[in-house]
Structure 1
Amino acid sequence: MIFMLGLTLIFTWCTAFAGTRGLAKRIDSIGIAAVGGVVSLILTFLMLDSSIAAGPASAPYKAVIDPITFALFAFGCAGLLVFQWRRRRDPWSIAGAIVTLFLLTSKVHSPQYMIWLVAFFVVVNVPWWLIVPYLAADAVLLYSGFYWFATSPQLARNSWQDTFVISVYWRTAALLALLWWFTLAGRDLITGPGAVVEAERDRIEEPPVAEVVRSTGQALDGEEEFDELVPSGGTAL
């Protein structure tokens, strides 16, 4: 629990104050951090008592948790769409954020799904230092989880269960880092750093006349000199 609380605080700081300027951007960032923090705490609660989470008496427990996680995912998607509309980010970054949010709010532990995610992360140019920790944590989670199920038919606590719980924490940390990158840090997905994605290129407007005059020193038609555009005693554009 202490680990996840600390992780939530770090994630909140990174999203709200690291690399963001302006009140509106920080409000958006704090909202994303809040979703990530709540998801982290719910995941911690899910793994604290394995006999409740996976035992035969889990039906009432799941009846409460399932609607909560679905609501978190639905509200998170709505928030990301609003974020996309306000920031005008390319659709790939928001798609990646939604996939990451789904992984955070759902119990997705599948080798096949992990392989599919590798291809997706490579296509959208996710940095390797974000991909490797997630894949490592997910691999440990799958390995320890299946060994736990195989060695403890009644899902009693053993060393494999402890490893499984720890890997869930680190997988959550890696997913929160990916969510941060997709929403705030990542730029120009698909085409790579420094390029202009097609969705953004379509929104670029022609430079105003004042900018052209300032940079070239003459009017657009080439007939008036820049000095004639500045009244006597006036200030240049």
Structure 2
Amino acid sequence: MNGWAKRIDPRWVLALTCLLGWAFKGHCGAYWGGSIQYVTGCYSDAVPFWGLRGVSAGQIPYLEARMEYPVLTGLLIWAEGFVTRTVFGASATAAHFLFVVAAVNAALAFVVLGMLRRAGVDRARQFTWAAAPPLVLYLGHNWDMLAVTFAVAGLLAARRGGTQVATALAALGSAAKLFPVLLLPLLGLGALFSRGSGGVGRRIVTAGVLVIIAIVSWGLVNAPVAVLAFANWSEFYTFSSARSGTAASVWEILAQSGRWATTIPERNVWSAAIFAGGAGVIVVLGWWRHGARPWVLFAPVLAWFLLTNKVYSPQFDLWLYPVLLLTSYRLWPVAWFALGDIAAYFTEFWYFAGLDGHHPAATLHDIALAAGFRGAAMLWIIGSAVLLPAPRWTKAPERS
């Protein structure tokens, strides 16, 4: 790395990135007109949630207000609403809430950077996180940074050999957003088939303990809310099942092009089947190289999940980006993925702008091209993860 880069602290770069992220979302304020939220890309879930989910009124998620997010994210939204009302008082608006959401996400981004630094991840990858384009796009978009932080913490715990801690963190992450659950089978398989871990009976017991830890960690968070307000608690799962898909998902692209139109139940079945089959192939092919560190396969499995899922919301790319920085042998595929993310983000929102009669306007064909570019980068990432070694830093666990 060049001398000037050695003198720059990645934390300063991350601070600038977070400021850009806030400027990107915050310039629209809370009152959108002329489809500005689509034309400029400043749309944020925080703005409609302020009024539509009882945040401004201080209603408790699930118990007093609807919430289509898992419990830990619902708790975070309530806490951020409390801070907004406390700091800004009666004059608090959705714009103030958006600022608090972005500030909390910025703090979580710094937590992730701190974990990378303590883990000994090389500076190039630290800078790649500190200057991450997805942070600019999604810092004020919604609340997925919470689950991202749990996922990164779980990966780093697994890297240190703390499989039980990693399991608890992944289970808690799935109580914030579902995707960290994909790490759990990899940790279980690692315990079940790891070399030098004793006989078959001992390995079965070790894997069973991980299953119990996952269930208890997830259950302690979810059970009280499920008992008290089952309908609102389960909305995340029923809402996810009932969704038809998003414009940038492969299923919607196929349907709009006339190649394969599917109903919602059909998409649920086919997407689950294709994901499960592909994930199995990824794990089997990648095991001979990464069997000692199966958590490395979380990146290609997650990428395959995003490609095959019926819903591909723009912010989902934030899930994958830091995981790639931890596990990808090369960073070039990550750069192409980031470019595809930017292209897919703006084409999708400009498509919505066009539906409202505003410009710039994109078409479904534009979305398909951007999503295809991003998808090609993700297939590259999956192939590289299976065939190439893991980064050097993953092979030297820290001793605490």
Normalised TM-score (structure 2)? 0.32
* In structure 1, C-alpha distance between the alignment counterparts of 2:266 and 2:350, rounded to whole Å: 28
Question: Aligned in 2, Cα 1:152/1:63: closer, same or farther, shift over 3 Å?
Answer: same
When residues 183 and 173 of structure 1 are mapped into structure 2, their CA distance, relative to the original with a 3 A threshold, is: same
**How far did 1:173 drift?**
0.5
1:147 equivalent in alignment to 2:353: no
Which residue of 2 is the match for residue 65 of structure 1? 267
Change (3 A) 1:78 1:145: same
Aligned-pair CA distance for 1:84: 4.4
Alignment of 1:100-179 (within 5 A): 100-106=303-309, 107-111=311-315, 113-152=316-355, 159-179=362-382
- Counterparts of 1:49-60 in structure 2, within 5 Å, are 49-50=255-256
- Residues 117-151 of structure 1, C-alpha deviations (whole Å, 9 max, x = no match): 33222222442211111111121111111121232
* Deviation, structure 1 residue 98: 0.8
CA contact (8 A) 2:250 2:307 kept: no
Which runs of 5 or more structure 2 residues have no equivalent in the other structure? 1-248
> Over alpha carbons, which structure has the higher Rg?
1
1:93 and 1:183 in contact (8 A); partners too? no
Q: Distance in 2 between matches of 1:103 and 1:118?
A: 12
Counterpart of 2:295 (choices 92, 103, 113) is 92
Q: Deviation string for 1:49-105 (max 9, x for gaps)? A: 43879xxxx8x6232222111101112223333334444532233111111111111
* 3-state SS in 2 of match to 1:188: coil
Residue 87 to residue 120, structure 1, CA distance change in 2 (3 Å): closer
Corresponding residue for 1:47? 253
* C-alpha spacing 1:45/1:116, structure 2 compared with 1 (3 Å): closer
d(CA) in 1 for partners of 2:290 and 2:334?
25
Note the aligned Cα RMSD (angstroms): 3.1
- Structure 2 residue aligned with 1:188: 390
Query: Which runs of structure 1 show a deviation greater than 4 angstroms over 4 or more consecutive aligned residues?
Result: 84-88
AA partner of residue 76 (structure 1): G
SS at match of 1:191: helix
Where does the alignment leave 5 or more consecutive residues of structure 1 unmatched?
A: 1-42, 199-237
Give the Cα separation in 2 of the matches to 1:51 and 1:138. Answer: 21
**Aligned partner of 1:191: which letter?**
W
Choose the corresponding residue for 1:77, options 279, 301, 312.
279
Q: Supply the distance in 1 between the matched residues of 2:307 and 2:328 (Cα, whole angstroms).
A: 21
Question: What letter is aligned with 2:384?
Answer: W
CA drift of 1:109 comes to 2.4
In the alignment of these two chains, the number of paired residues is: 143
Give the drift of 1:44.
Answer: 5.9
After superposition, give the CA deviation of every residue in 1:9-60 in whole Å (9 maximum; x if it has no partner).
xxxxxxxxxxxxxxxxxxxxxxxxxxxxxxxxxx76641443879xxxx8x6
